[in-house]
A and B are shown apart, each in its own frame.
Chain A
């Protein structure tokens, strides 16, 4: 065993720290608020800066313009960014997407899309869920008809997060309705500006346009934008899921660490009924438990990164890591609210709101984390099946 981080990786950590110093996150405008995933708010400008500096393609093979670095390297870089709450947009939307395109894309797609991702000039959205296909994604009905040069898409997607800000969608459709559900699905990369696509906002619980309905009315997608093989979309997606769950949550331990440190600071500087909060034994216990959970979570994500780098097959680990990370984040927000006491009620815009109301917002927002990207309940089914060999009835 070896828990040390290599010198090359440490050098990379220094490099990203320098980048953060050179481009202080606070000085960049954000177009969407920070939702506690760990990747900050969304900033076109910061994403482009990251692109210019080569951070977005860090793990790609050199032949596609990357630096050929490991996923563990990327995890260390992401930790630094997440801790600073830099609006860096590493996650499923870019890391996951580039991975899918490198693995399954044809040369046209790779040449067309990868350089744009690398430059930080485009963002993706995920067009998966439908009104009747949530946890049961296989029930999806949006169909794509093969007309030779184009596929014609008709149907409706829901919960398309930030589709209104995105350039391309990662779309799953039914291409063969006459075979068992999992056999007739295909993946596409879809340009949001194609005629026939209508986007309607869904306002979220804190009053922001986060999700969207996306309607497809005879949308013609050029055949080159088929991602992978026709009718094999589901198998491709399953293969990608291990990675996707990793990419979707690998910054969680670092952002939780940041919150923990902020709370520790708060406890040092605030008192309740004349007694400093850091002397409150209940709060001490809970902070210590949080520190333990964060370290545990960080290690399991390091283990996953190592497994992915070493091509060790993933079984239940990413489902477990995602579940643990999301529930840990929610527990941490419960604790944050408890520590802030009565002031925890104060929203952004209130004069005396601690942390400018950030934790109040995250308390509410983080309830969605155990739903997004596969619910905790669905993950637990996966963990029981993949980790323990218990079959579904």
Chain B
């Protein structure tokens, strides 16, 4: 056993940290929240040049061919910086195409996705859907050899900037299929949504949208098998973000507890404060191992769905508790727009509900226990 990052991994982690410290400030997020700014294209360009979009994509598609552990390192640092960006949508779309796509699709899309030249968004969610196939209502009806899409997908992260959507739709009573849909196809209408974390999401309406059978991703009626896998990976990357976010939140709080004085002494001297900080450290510290182990398993080709469910359940609860406690310990200061604590509070809530909250994950774990 070895609980350390390798030297290369450590260097990668530091490079991500250094880059974000230099090029990303939470003030940008404050502007995105107010709707005054979109994710800056110069930053997107720099991020693609660094190769972050292709960390776990093979070199023959322009990726850097590293593993899932490196991806988790990247997302941990992104969470720590409270970076809200279209990176996750891009990474997930690439992984999905890599897994489900045919040669033509991979050749056509992957190099451009990795280079940041093409944007994809996953159109999975819809009203009443919570990460189970049974919740899908959007239909794709077969008309001769092709399909016609109808229904509403929402919320769709990063849908507003996407060139393509990967849309999951019902193709029979029980089954679903994935379609690659060009964003400017007639019959597609977008409405922007304002969200708690300031990320860009939209509602998509499909009204008689014609899609060629050539644009099926994977096989027809086999969409869910691919989606299930990508949701699980997404849950792990969200967990990594939450690990980073909770670690940073705790660090900010402890720093403040050392300098803020009341009753003639630093707040950190009070046992009631110390015990809260100790509980937070426990949440954060334990988050690290439970997040990195499944990443290590993925890299070794081991099955780890339940390990990921545990990681997502744990970090969702941990981040929420850590950020709520830290918020409390900052006092009224945390209540200000200028302060970063509410950005983390927002990020924690969005991360918690996306790709299955802890109750959902515990259901998966229980299913496994009684299998």
- Residue positions of A touching B, CB distance < 8 A: 129, 132, 134-136, 139, 158-159, 202-207, 210-211, 270-274, 282, 330, 334, 337-338, 341-353, 357, 360, 363-364, 367-368, 370-372, 375-377, 380-381
Contact = CB atoms under 8 A, between A and B. Distances in A.
Given A345-B196, A352-B127, A364-B342, 15 more contacts: A134-B331, A135-B262, A135-B263, A136-B262, A159-B332, A272-B129, A272-B130, A330-B324, A334-B320, A341-B130, A345-B353, A346-B193, A346-B195, A360-B196, A371-B334
23 contacts: A129-B332, A135-B263, A136-B263, A159-B332, A204-B336, A206-B337, A207-B33, A207-B34, A272-B129, A273-B135, A282-B359, A342-B354, A345-B201, A345-B349, A347-B196, A348-B194, A350-B192, A363-B349, A367-B324, A367-B335, A371-B328, A377-B328, A381-B272
Which 10 residue pairs spanning A and B have beta carbons closest together?
A205-B342, A273-B135, A347-B194, A273-B132, A136-B262, A350-B193, A203-B337, A273-B134, A274-B134, A345-B195
B125 interface: yes
B155 interface: yes
Contacts of A338: 353, 357, 359
B128 interface: yes
With a 10 A CB-CB cut-off, give which of A274, A357, A380 has the most chain B CB atoms.
A274
A337 B195 contact: no
A341 B338 CA distance: 28
Given A211-B335, A351-B203, A364-B342, A343 B155 contact: yes
Given A204-B337, A211-B332, A271 B128 contact: yes
SS class, residues of chain A in contact with chain B = mixed
Contacts, number: 136
B146 to A, nearest CB: 28
A337 B135 CA distance: 19
Contact of B262 (A134, A203, A337, A363): A134
B350 interface: yes
Contacts of A129: 332
B345 A367 contact: yes
A342 B155 contact: yes
Contacts of B277: none
B193 A351 contact: yes
Contacts of B354: 342
Contacts of A207: 33-34, 337
A48 B135 CA distance: 50
Contact of B335 (A205, A348, A351, A360): A205
Contacts of A211: 332, 335-336
Interface string B26-69: 00000001100000000000000000000000000000000000
B283 interface: no
Interface in B175-202: 191-197, 201
Nearest to B33: A207
B106 interface: no
Contacts of A360: 196
B112 interface: no
Contacts of A380: 272
Interface of B: 33-34, 125, 127-132, 134-135, 154-155, 191-197, 201, 203, 261-264, 272-273, 320, 324, 327-328, 331-332, 334-339, 342, 345-346, 349-350, 353-354, 357, 359
Given A204-B336, A343-B155, A377-B272, A273 B129 contact: yes
Contacts of A370: 328
A345 B132 contact: no
Contacts of A351: 191, 193, 203
Contacts of A270: 128
A33 to B, nearest CB: 15
Contact of A342 (B125, B264, B273): B125
A342 to B, nearest CB: 6
B102 to A, nearest CB: 30
A363 B324 CA distance: 11
B349 A202 contact: no
B130 A349 contact: no
Contact of A337 (B273, B342, B353): B353
A350 B195 contact: yes
Nearest to A204: B335
B349 A337 contact: yes
B246 to A, nearest CB: 16
Contacts of B125: 342
Nearest to A344: B353
A4 to B, nearest CB: 39
A345 B155 contact: yes
A60 to B, nearest CB: 32
B194 A350 contact: yes
A203 B336 CA distance: 6
A364 B345 contact: yes
B158 to A, nearest CB: 14
B353 A342 contact: yes
Contact of B338 (A203, A343, A375): A203
